[in-house]
Amino acid sequence: MRASKKELRSLDGGDLWRRLLKEYYPQLRTAQLVIFCRRKPAPVKYSPLPAESKVIAMATAPEAIDYELPRLRAPRRELLSVKTNLLFYGVYMPGGYNRWCPIPNVTVEYYPLHGHFTYAATFDCPWWQDYWAHKFFQIRNYQLEARYYFRSGDIRSNPPGEGQAYRGFYVQGYAHMALFGLCFDADRGWVGEGIGAGIGAGYVLPLGKKSRWKLEFALQVGFYTCKYDPYQFENLVNPDYHDQLYYYRWTQSPDLFKKRQYHHTWVGPTRVAITLSYDLLFRRNNKKGVSTRRWEWY
């Protein structure tokens, strides 16, 4: 495989080019002077070889010297990263709950080969409960987002091996839906579901030119609207009978009960993030498919 000087210098961060300059090119460019002294050889009596001997001699003749070329290590382009918001693991719930409630969360982001846009999906899933103490912190949040990076991630201007293609400042648009059950004590509990959308901005900071790790700082603002019902620790039909089950707060006939009679809308900040990101999947160069390895050998 032939490669131009510019390509050789860019491969493997320049390590291959420096190795060639140090180990191979000095040998190729070396000039040696060798003096041969010819001496008259002793006469040799010639006797023709039989045909079988000629075949054996041709078969055992030394082969041409084959110089082994150095292997080239080529970088791959990132395809998918996984990340988690570190701030969510330090959540503390006050107001009667009074305990540490980390929010497990994961985001995956897809990186195209061209353009400024990337696409991501997020899942948040705190599921804490203490039934007998009437404490619940249970949320299922699903979010989709599109990011626009001010620095283009096009592969023609960001070849593999030159650091993460999508980095620096970006803006985003997002939409999400959530199911929740929150309860601080026997008299303060709500269950419901809602949807929201908004915009955001952030900055991606690679942790080294050849590193898979990145830090992200982001802020989202938008709205969230939900329908919900309060619930309490009592029997719906007979309030004097406690059967250890939660029911919605309702004092009229059960036949008249309708779910989600309450409504609430929030407008303002919806997420603050300090995110740790890891490039997990990379595109193969010589064939289709993906790999967890950032480099491949030629």
Q: Flag whether 68 is in a domain.
A: no
Q: Flag whether 102 is in a domain.
A: yes
- Computed from CA positions of residues 246, 247, 249, 251, in that sequence, does the dihedral angle turn out positive or negative? negative
121 and 255 part of one domain: yes
DSSP 8-state secondary structure symbol assigned to residue 212: S
Q: Flag whether 65 is in a domain.
A: no
For the chain, 298 residues long, the average pLDDT of each consecutive 10-residue run is 64 72 68 64 56 51 58 85 96 80 95 94 92 86 97 87 89 97 83 96 92 95 94 62 62 75 93 96 88 84
Distance of CA 21 to the CA centre of its chain: 36
117 and 229 part of one domain: yes
CB 72 within 8 A of CB 20: no
DSSP 8-state secondary structure symbol assigned to residue 200: E
256 and 193 part of one domain: yes
Confidence (pLDDT) at 275: 97
Tokens describing residue 279 = 């490039």
> How far is residue 215's CA from residue 84's CA, in Å, rounded to a whole number?
10
Confidence (pLDDT) at 170: 97
pTM, two decimal places = 0.69
Confidence (pLDDT) at 237: 58
Q: How many domains does the chain have?
A: 2
19 and 94 part of one domain: no
Confidence (pLDDT) at 248: 67
DSSP 8-state secondary structure symbol assigned to residue 89: G
Q: Which residues contact 230 (CB under 8 A, 6 or more apart)?
A: 188, 189, 190, 248, 249, 262
Residues shown for the chain: 298
DSSP H or E stretch at residue 156: none
Confidence (pLDDT) at 1: 45
Confidence (pLDDT) at 242: 60
110 and 193 part of one domain: yes
Q: Flag whether 66 is in a domain.
A: no
Q: Flag whether 70 is in a domain.
A: no
Domain range for 20: 5-59
